Amino acid sequence: MKHLIKVMLILGAIFASAFVVGRLAGILTVDKVQRWLEVAQSADPKWVVGTVVLLLFLDLVVAVPTLAITILAGYFLGFPAGAATAVLGMTSAAFSGYWISRRWGQRGIALLVRDETDRQELVETFHKSGPAMIILSRAAPMVPEVTACMAGATRMHFVGYCLFFAISTLPYALIAAYAGSVSSLDSPQPAIYAVLSLYLVLWSGWFLFQRRNRRKVVA
């Protein structure tokens, strides 16, 4: 497990550095995203779809406010169009991360974990714990991208990854986009309640997952 944690922390640090740079530079803030979507809608509503998909795809490289963008997608496009657009964007980022890492990720792991036995242990550990990590990955920024890359690098079966990703992403996108579709600037309560509910469920799931792992270690 320690080698898996080491690699995931390094991946997380890489994504986090992009997140910090983006925030310090004032790139991809929620206010800017909202203004871009307003401009896109005024030009042609179809541009909103492309903008949302592009922004969520960029999450693979530069951490973006995924939940806020999904809520805004519901607000500008309505439901279910906003949810479908958000799912398309998140899927493009996750699947790109998976296939890029499947092609080159093993070389990266070999640089970080020199011993072949330790690398094999890392792969086996992720194949056991990875499904839960992927399902609960929406609980925090950058975790979906990290788990997508780890799934590819450890050669997790793509169909299995798709299943876990869908369990994680579809409810998340549906709830957030619907909340955005019934919210307004004057009445943002549905969006606020959706954010709180999603994070409460996901963080509770992470707590139970970590608790179970600690019990296994003790046993």
Three-state SS sequence of 116-180:
HHHHHHHHHHHHHHHHHHHHCHHHCCCHHHHHHHHHHHCCCCHHHHHHHHHHHHHHHHHHHHHHH
Residue-range definition of the domain harbouring residue 65: 2-218
pLDDT digits 0-9 by tens, 5-26:
888 888 888 877 766 766 666 6
Number of domain units in the chain: 1
pLDDT digits 0-9 by tens, 175-195:
999 999 988 766 677 777 777
Most confident of 46-50, 63-67, 135-139, 153-157: 153-157
**Cα–Cα distance for residue pair 162/167, rounded to 1 Å:** 9
pLDDT at 89: 96
CB atoms within 10 A of CB 71: 28
Q: Which of 36, 42, 45, 44 is nearest to 65 (CA)?
A: 36
pLDDT at 185: 62
pLDDT digits 0-9 by tens, 77-95:
999 999 999 999 999 999 9
Whether residue 167 is predicted with pLDDT greater than 80 in this model: the reply is yes
Residue type, 168: S
**Cα–Cα distance for residue pair 56/52, rounded to 1 Å:** 6
**pTM score, whole prediction:** 0.86
Residue with tokens 């792992």: 213
